[in-house]
């Protein structure tokens, strides 16, 4: 909601969007049978026009977290943070920036398995070329 406030939206619009995103439930249908309803804890409903707008607002300032030689490539719903890595210090700097972005700036609630997926994987031959 803080990003919406930063765009200086009226409080009643922010409250309406918050209501749109909270207290949602979902269920699935498999072979004609429905599951029990389950509470949706996070995320934006896919396929909604408001969902697309919120996504654009959410990712609009991604490039602001980049510094020095770290760059970000944005396309549709994809974001790639990258830099030219010449040594271990460059790799570590990029990793710290990625972690800071994903774990603090976006306030993602990631479990350890997901966080390890995001973690930069060092190529086997990286150290041999340094």
Nearest to 99 by CA among 77, 122, 115: 115
Best-predicted range by mean pLDDT (10-19, 62-71, 87-96, 115-124): 10-19
Of 30-34, 79-83, 107-111, least confident by mean pLDDT is: 107-111
pLDDT of residue 61: 72
**55 to each of 10, 21, 26, 62, how far by Cα in Å?**
19, 13, 20, 12
What pTM, to 2 d.p., does this model score?
0.51
Q: In whole angstroms, what is the distance from residue 70 CA to residue 68 CA?
A: 6
Q: In whole angstroms, what is the distance from residue 69 CA to residue 40 CA?
A: 39
Q: pLDDT digits over 23-58, tens only?
A: 888 899 999 999 999 988 877 777 788 888 887 787
End-to-end CA distance of the chain: 44
């Amino acid at each position: 909601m803080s990003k919406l406030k930063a765009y200086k939206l009226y409080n009643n619009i922010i409250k309406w969007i918050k209501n749109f995103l909270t207290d949602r439930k979902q269920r699935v249908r498999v072979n004609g049978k429905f599951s029990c309803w389950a509470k949706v804890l996070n995320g934006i409903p896919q396929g909604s026009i408001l969902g697309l707008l919120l996504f654009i607002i959410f990712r609009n300032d991604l490039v602001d977290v980049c510094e020095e030689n770290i760059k970000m490539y944005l396309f549709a719903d994809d974001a790639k943070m990258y830099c030219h890595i010449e040594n271990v210090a460059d790799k570590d700097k990029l990793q710290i920036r990625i972690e800071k972005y994903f774990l603090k700036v976006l306030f993602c609630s990631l479990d350890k398995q997901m966080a390890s997926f995001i973690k930069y994987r060092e190529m086997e031959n990286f150290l041999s070329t340094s």
